Amino acid sequence: MLHISQLSTKYKIKKMGEEDISRILNLENGNPLYFAYCPPKPCRETVLNDLKALPEGKSLEDKFYIGFFENDSLIAIMDFIISFQKKIRSSSVYL
């Protein structure tokens, strides 16, 4: 079982959800250069899609959309999938 609090000794960590969309959008909109190269531009719909997006064969129990906080400010987000393996060129090597 993943204990997200153990991912950092410096930052407070919280699993993010739909109630956090405004905070996530504020963070994403603070980095327009990233989204100039990696569209689409952030909006409520793109955040909702990110919160629910799953690779084939995975469930929401395997997904952790995590926020990293310094004091009360969201400073980073991470989309983390437990035991996600990606097959490379039909070989038996996995990432």
Task: Quick: pLDDT tens for 49-69.
Answer: 999 999 888 999 999 999 999
0.85 surpassed by pTM: no
- DSSP state string for the chain: ---GGGG-SSSEEEE--GGGHHHHHHHHHT-HHHHHHSPSPP-HHHHHHHHH---TT--GGGEEEEEEEETTEEEEEEEEETT---B-TTSS-B-
Size (the chain), residues: 95
**pLDDT for residue 91 is more than 50:** no
